């Protein structure tokens, strides 16, 4: 997990939507992200894989009955796609147990291993209160 780099205050492109903290909401997050990326002329992968992982985690680990999660996509200069998913369970921070040679991570740790491999940077921050935001940056100029 990397330290967060502050993005410029005015993104070149911005998309945000609240979604129900259900399997349907997680699926919709991936579909909406795909369409938004397409409309911006950006590559779909690996961004939609990261959105799918973050949205699924928000539903499985960050769900509070009756509360939604929020998907945010932003393109900032110089050519960075920021993916954020915010949920209302700030006390459940994503973690990945360190692995050693020959020892596989717990079943629930594979998604964050995927994010770590695909994202140029990723992390988690507190807020909006009482929740947390998990974020990933993809450098688009590579």
Q: What is the pLDDT of residue 14?
A: 96
Q: Where are the alpha helices (DSSP H) in 61-109?
A: none
Give pLDDT, residue 96. Answer: 55
* Backbone angles phi and psi of 38, in degrees to 5: -60, -45
All residue ranges of the chain with pLDDT < 70 are 1-9, 95-109
Q: Please give the helix or strand (H or E) that residue 48 lies within, else none.
A: helix 47-60
Predicted pLDDT of residue 66? 79
Single pTM value for the model = 0.84
Q: What is the pLDDT of residue 17?
A: 98
Q: Give residue 8's pLDDT.
A: 47
DSSP state letter for 105: P
């Amino acid at each position: 997990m990397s330290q967060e780099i502050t993005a410029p205050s005015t993104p070149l492109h911005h998309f945000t939507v609240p979604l129900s903290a259900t399997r349907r909401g997680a699926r919709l997050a991936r579909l909406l992200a795909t369409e938004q990326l397409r409309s911006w002329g950006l590559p779909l992968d690996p961004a939609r894989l990261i959105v799918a992982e973050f949205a699924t985690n928000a539903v499985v680990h960050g769900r509070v009955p009756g509360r939604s999660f929020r998907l945010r996509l932003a393109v900032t200069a110089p050519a960075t796609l920021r993916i954020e998913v915010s949920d209302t369970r700030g006390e459940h921070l994503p973690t990945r147990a360190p692995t050693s040679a020959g020892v596989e991570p717990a079943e629930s740790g594979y998604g964050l291993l995927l994010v770590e491999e695909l994202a140029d940077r990723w992390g988690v921050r507190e807020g909006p209160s009482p929740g947390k935001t998990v974020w990933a940056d993809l450098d688009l100029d590579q």
